[in-house]
Amino acid sequence: MPIGTSEDFKGVWASSPSDVWVIGATTRHWDGNAWQAIGPGGDCIWGSGPDDVWTASMAKADLYHWDGSVWTAPAALGAALLGTWGSSSTDLWVVGEYTAREPPPHSFIAHWDGTSLGQRSGLSSGFLNGVWGTGADDVWAVGETVWHWDGSVWSEYTPVDSDYSTANLSAVWQDYFGESWAVGSPDTILHHQLTGWTKVATGRIPAPSFSGNLGEQCRARCLGRGQRRLDDSLGREGMDAACSPGRPVRGTLGK
């Protein structure tokens, strides 16, 4: 499907095969038949449906909302916006960095509750690049620091690896089994389980551990929802065996 432009794109979000959004110098929409330039550009994009799409910009420090007909800017945020994620139309998080404060940078987090956009203060210095969660009470934000939202407060987490302090995390992802992954530079992959965040050797991604007959849930965890395919750890035959419905796998299922 040719998109009709040579611009660089920085983000993608979709609600269906006929509702796909990409963002770069412009925001473009695929309706199942053709691409159309439909809105301002930016750095990240997220939505809950065809009539609820959000875009954010680092350079312009703008947050825009698409309601199915027009774009609006709910508030001036005064920050470079680097990541967005939400669980519903009334639960959107935006992260980035304040650039006007001295000395910069300072972590920036804002929340949309469906009516207004409120900024969260009290976080430490260090910008944030990415945000992801599983619900309104379970959200991770990463950058030069790692933060977790439990539905009431943000808490800072320090990975157990001593060399983490040199990392700049660019993105985070979490599954519904409670495991989280964060990536960044230099050469950094972090993995979170019950014991906390640990650094993973990038030459070999560890296989998740399961017990019981998880069937399609196992397949979704191994191969779905954006997690890197783990063939390097198990091998193709091992992965197929681990993720085949009706086939038990040894190990324990962590939170």
What is the CATH number for 143? 2.120.10.70
Distance CA 54, CA 77 (A): 14
Q: What is the pLDDT of residues 68-105, one digit of tens each?
A: 999 998 877 878 889 999 999 999 999 988 766 556 56
Question: Using alpha carbons only, what angle is made at residue 67 by residues 14 and 129, rounded to the nearest 5 degrees?
Answer: 55
Is residue 188 a part of any domain in this protein?
A: yes
Query: How many CB atoms are located within 10 Å of the residue 174 CB?
Result: 21
Domain count for the chain, please give it: 2
Output the pTM of the full model.
0.72
Q: Which residues contact 138 (CB under 8 A, 6 or more apart)?
A: 148, 149, 150, 151, 174
pLDDT band at 50 (very low <50, low <70, confident <90, very high): very high
pLDDT digits (tens, 9 = 90+) for 157-194: 876 555 555 578 889 998 877 789 999 887 888 888 87
Q: Are 59 and 25 in contact (CB under 8 A)?
A: no
Are residues 234 and 131 both part of a single domain?
no
Exposure string over 196-222, b if 16+ CB within 10 A, otherwise e:
ebebbeeeebebbebeeebeebbbbbb
| Domain membership of residue 245 as a residue range | 204-255
Same-domain pairing of 124 and 217: no
